Amino acid sequence: MAMLEVKDLQVYYGMIQAIKGISFEVNAGEVIALIGANGAGKTTTLHTITGLVPAKAGSIVFEGVDLLKTPAHKIVSLGMAHVPEGRRIFQQLTVYENLKLGAYTRKNKQEIQESFARVYKRFPRLEERKNQVAGTLSGGEQQMLAMGRALMSHPKIILMDEPSMGLSPIFVSEIFDIIREISESGTTVLLVEQNAKKALSIADRAYVLETGNIVLSGDAKDLMNDDSVKKAYLGE
């Protein structure tokens, strides 16, 4: 059974249908990429999974729990974390305070300390700047903080929305290395990304979204060699 199963999902913004009955699944341990042009419905899909946008029809089941019947604030404690587009860190708070907020669903102080240690090990720069106000970090560091904050909830699955957006090429490579490491350490990843080449290079499987429909899906390596994908998304 899949860890996350989306079936016949339909989402509307007013009269406009943004998601037109898509179905896909994510198995434990996989990196799954959702790729597609701007406005294809990628972010809407993530927002619907994490309860930020209501669905009109369909189902989203995470480890046997129907997320469409679960309040958004309870979804985090089920083991799902969301790194939103544009990072959405708390600009006025310090790096340490941002990370601590990521663990708000957890009560065991010892485990929270262990999570801090793990996050600092993965992101040494965050430890160096733990007392710095988050709004003064560079874009790449803010992205690391958003990822670190999500990891503080000790999620089973992490949803990442455009993690490379607006970053310099060197930071983009670093962020994708980190996503690979997060996956290798046992966290499942659902990745929405405009940089299709990078996304396909680290994903196991991928789904291609076009105007609210899934038009292609399969093994990420196969999609990388697919002529229509090359032409539309890989700039070839």
What CATH number is associated with residue 198? 3.40.50.300
Residues with Cβ within 8 Å of residue 31, at least 6 apart in sequence: 179, 180, 183, 188, 189, 191, 202, 203, 204
Identity of residue 145: L
How far is it, in rounded angstroms, from Cα 150 to Cα 184?
Answer: 16
What is the overall mean pLDDT for the chain? 92
Structure-block tokens of residue 204: 């196991």
Q: Which helix H or strand E contains 184, and what residues bound it?
A: helix 169-184
Is residue 49 classed as helix, strand or coil in its secondary structure?
A: helix
**pLDDT number for residue 217:** 95
Residue range 199-208, pLDDT digits in tens: 999 999 999 9
**In a shared domain, residues 103 and 212:** no
Which of 87, 16, 78, 14 minimizes the C-alpha distance to 51? 78
Could you count the other beta carbons within 10 Å of the beta carbon of residue 48?
25
Number of folded domains that form the chain: 2
**In a shared domain, residues 53 and 164:** yes
Has residue 71 been placed in a domain?
A: yes
In the predicted model, what is the mean pLDDT of residues 37-64? 94
Has residue 179 been placed in a domain?
A: no
Range(s) of the domain holding residue 127: 88-154
Q: Tokens 């958004």 appear where?
A: 72
Residue range 115-147, pLDDT digits in tens: 999 899 989 999 999 999 999 998 889 999 999
Q: What pTM value is reported for the model?
A: 0.91
**In a shared domain, residues 2 and 64:** yes
Identity of residue 7: K
Has residue 199 been placed in a domain?
A: yes
Please provide the distance, in angstroms rounded to a whole number, between the alpha carbons at the two ends of the chain: 37
**In a shared domain, residues 5 and 43:** yes
Could you count the other beta carbons within 10 Å of the beta carbon of residue 131?
9
**In a shared domain, residues 11 and 107:** no
Structure-block tokens of residue 202: 């680290």
- Domain closes at, from 111, 128, 154: 154
How far is it, in rounded angstroms, from Cα 134 to Cα 121?
Answer: 19
Has residue 107 been placed in a domain?
A: yes
Which of 158, 161, 230 minimizes the C-alpha distance to 200? 230
Has residue 177 been placed in a domain?
A: no
Residue range 57-113, pLDDT digits in tens: 999 999 999 999 999 888 988 999 999 887 788 889 999 999 998 887 788 888 889
**pLDDT number for residue 236:** 61
